[in-house]
């Protein structure tokens, strides 16, 4: 049974958000003997029987659909202006929705300012940590998450037909690095089954084979008796004392009642939109720009990865929907090779989508009509891909507070601004061209492109930096300005890299937990 800690208990560690960062941090701290942890989650706690193999049913059930605004040159400002991010509002956060792709950063991706030099229009910065610093925590995350298809992990998942087609096309094209590291178990472990190849990975894994904190970290944390999970608790403001240290968290429960939970430490893990929004909404006369924002960098340098979605159509059936959501990853272009005309790299994530989502997301330039219907008629012959590449940090890509619009809690809604840097546009076009050439060389007869989707990888906005003037948190995710305030989600990323972020978020949370325990023992926080 979960512990219940008093609202006025100033010894509590309050974690805001229960996804990859917050859920992992809560369990790591609990397992290390930290006694009073309050885990606040804005969304519901979904029971196993509520998970359905239904794309739109689960989209409506799980998604964070609070009012938001997308602006900027990205296509989402036109195609989904009220949904700039496709993330989850519920216990487990977006680990319920993610496909399970588990890639490590490459060493150079921690040092993009050193590697790329000064890039006009971008706000490049090296991380204050290196790959070598994080490598042992990557190893621990692989074990914790039950990752298959990676060194030190479980055997690779079975190859479905989409994997076989994409792999053969890639090898004929000259690519050699076809991999499949997934946080989906290929063998039973940790009290969870192996993957059943159902294919609805992004709707919440029905059997629990995919790692998600609501199946793994949070139940283990609750079992210690040291964690108090409070679902449907929307945090409105972080408060501070006269000395400027954070002292509590004001939140609203499902019945509309407000509560102030006192805190010794606050860890912010609400995603790269909600986390900076909360810091900005917590402005006071002492912190007029918002908490932890002496640098002016809170909300800046938003990154969502540079992406493109394409479907290549073949003459014979592929039935891409049979098997897990991401069938394979082609990694040959995930390198820094400026001779291609851009910095950074990208992955081909060979992706299936169910017919309802293809119909919804496949919006050719001509819109509904023959181009659309003739593509849908060939659904069984499609091979899908999501090009996922580095997006350079730019100050103008940002999270700000709307001047007049407010949400159901009375808070200014977040405005998510995003536009391609010239480097992003060249990387995206290179990925589109290479995918089409690769598939045409293997016999595809047509390739249909999708507009950019609402971002599922939301990064930056509270970035790590060595110097306080350049970012929001230090190498431990600890605020430069307020020593008992931490950031534990993807908003602390200094660069996006080409890799999906979850493995890195989990690794950083494991590392951060060690630091917090050490600092508590020393009485430093």
Q: What is the pLDDT of residues 140-175, one digit of tens each?
A: 999 999 999 999 999 999 999 999 999 999 999 999
What pLDDT shows up at residue 366? Answer: 64
In a domain, 273, yes or no: yes
Q: What is the CATH number of the domain that holds 472?
A: 3.50.50.60
Specify if 192 maps to a domain.
yes
Look at residue 172 in the predicted model and tell me its pLDDT.
Answer: 98
Min mean pLDDT across 196-200, 274-278, 279-283 is at 196-200
pLDDT value of position 371: 84
pLDDT digits (tens, 9 = 90+) for 415-425: 999 999 999 99
Burial 166-183 (b: 16+ CB within 10 A, else e): bbebbeebebeebebbbb
pLDDT above 90: residue 313: yes
Give the count of domains, the chain: 1
DSSP string covering 424-479: HHHHHHHHHHHHHHHHHTTT--EEEEEPPPPBS--B-SS-B-SSGGG-SB-TTSBB
On whether residue 193 sits in a domain, the answer given is yes
Residues of the domain holding 80:
13-521
DSSP bridge partners of 412: 406
Distance CA 167, CA 431 (A): 16
| 351 closest CA partner among 321, 373, 378 | 321
The answer to whether 388 and 305 have CB atoms below 8 angstroms apart is: yes
Is the residue at 8 inside a domain? no
- CB-based burial label for 328 (10 Å; 0-12, 13-18, 19+): buried
Query: Both tokens of residue 338?
Result: 């400026």
- Spatial contact of 37 and 264, defined as CB atoms under 8 Å apart: no
Contact assessment for residue 145 and residue 211, using Cβ atoms and an 8 Å cutoff? yes
pLDDT digits (tens, 9 = 90+) for 7-34: 999 999 999 999 999 999 999 999 999 9
Average pLDDT, the chain: 96
> pLDDT over 70 for what percent of the chain?
99
Query: Which residues face 351 on adjacent strands?
Result: 326
- For 20, left (φ over 0), alpha (ψ -120 to 50), or beta? alpha
Spatial distance between the Cα atoms of 110 and 93, rounded to a whole number of angstroms: 26
Q: Which residues contact 147 (CB under 8 A, 6 or more apart)?
A: 102, 141, 153, 154, 181, 182, 183, 211, 503
In a domain, 5, yes or no: no
| Domain-embedded: residue 6 | no
Could you tell me the two tokens for 300?
């800046």
Can you give the pTM of this predicted structure? 0.97
Q: What is the pLDDT of residues 354-390, one digit of tens each?
A: 999 898 888 766 667 888 899 999 999 999 999 999 9
Burial readout 237-252 (b: 16 or more C-beta within 10 A, e: otherwise): bbbbeeebbbbbbebb
In the prediction, which pLDDT does 368 show? 76
User: Is 497 part of a structural domain of the chain?
Assistant: yes
Cross-strand bridge partners of residue 345: none
Is residue 515, in this structure, part of any structural domain at all? yes
The residue count of the chain comes to 525
Q: Assign 1 a pLDDT band (cuts: 50, 70, 90).
A: very low
Q: How many other C-beta atoms are found inside a 10 Å radius of the C-beta of residue 159? A: 15
């Amino acid at each position: 049974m979960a512990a219940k800690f008093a609202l006025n208990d100033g010894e509590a560690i309050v974690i805001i958000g229960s996804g990859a960062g917050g859920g992992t941090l809560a369990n790591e701290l609990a397992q290390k003997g930290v006694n009073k942890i309050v885990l606040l989650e804005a969304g519901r706690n979904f029971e196993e029987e509520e998970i359905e193999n239904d794309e739109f049913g689960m989209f409506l059930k799980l998604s964070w659909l609070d009012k938001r605004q997308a602006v900027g040159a990205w296509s989402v400002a036109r195609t989904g202006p009220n949904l700039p991010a496709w993330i989850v509002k519920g216990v487990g956060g977006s680990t319920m929705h993610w496909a399970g792709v588990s890639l490590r950063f490459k060493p150079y991706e921690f040092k993009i300012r050193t590697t790329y030099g000064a890039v006009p229009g971008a706000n490049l910065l090296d991380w204050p940590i290196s790959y070598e610093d994080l490598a042992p925590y990557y190893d621990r995350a692989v074990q914790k998450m039950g990752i298959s298809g990676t060194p030190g992990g479980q055997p690779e998942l079975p190859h479905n037909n989409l994997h076989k087609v994409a792999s053969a096309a890639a090898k004929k094209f000259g690519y050699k690095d076809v991999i499949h590291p997934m946080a989906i178990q290929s063998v039973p472990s940790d009290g969870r089954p192996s993957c059943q190849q159902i294919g609805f990975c992004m709707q919440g894994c029905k059997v629990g084979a995919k790692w998600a904190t609501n199946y793994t970290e949070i139940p283990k944390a609750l079992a210690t008796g040291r964690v108090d999970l409070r679902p449907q608790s929307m945090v409105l403001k972080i408060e501070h004392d006269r000395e400027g240290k954070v002292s509590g968290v004001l939140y609203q429960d499902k019945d509309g009642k407000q509560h102030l939970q006192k805190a010794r430490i606050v860890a912010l893990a609400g995603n790269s939109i909600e986390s900076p929004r909360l810091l900005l909404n917590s402005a006071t006369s002492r912190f007029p720009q918002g908490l932890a924002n002496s640098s002016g960098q809170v909300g800046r340098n938003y990154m969502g990865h540079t992406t493109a979605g394409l479907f290549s159509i073949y003459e014979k059936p592929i039935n891409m929907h049979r098997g897990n959501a991401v069938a394979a990853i082609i990694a040959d272009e995930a390198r820094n090779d400026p001779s291609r005309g851009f910095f950074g790299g990208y992955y081909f994530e060979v992706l299936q989508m169910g017919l309802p989502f293809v119909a919804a997301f496949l919006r050719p330039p001509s819109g509904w009509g023959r181009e659309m219907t003739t593509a849908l008629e060939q659904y069984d012959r499609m091979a899908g891909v999501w090009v996922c590449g580095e997006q350079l940090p730019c100050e103008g890509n940002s999270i700000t507070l709307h001047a007049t619009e407010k949400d159901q809690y009375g808070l200014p809604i977040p405005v998510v601004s995003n536009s391609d840097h010239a480097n992003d546009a060249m990387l995206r076009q290179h990925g589109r061209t290479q995918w089409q050439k690769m598939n045409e060389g293997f016999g595809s007869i047509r390739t249909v492109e999708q507009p950019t989707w609402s971002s599922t990888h939301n990064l930056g906005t509270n970035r790590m930096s060595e110097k306080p003037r350049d970012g929001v948190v230090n190498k431990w995710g600890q605020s430069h300005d307020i020593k008992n305030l931490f950031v534990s989600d993807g908003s602390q990323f200094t660069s996006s890299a080409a890799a999906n972020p979850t493995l890195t978020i989990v690794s950083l949370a494991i590392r951060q937990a060690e630091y917090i325990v050490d600092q508590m023992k020393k009485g430093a926080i």
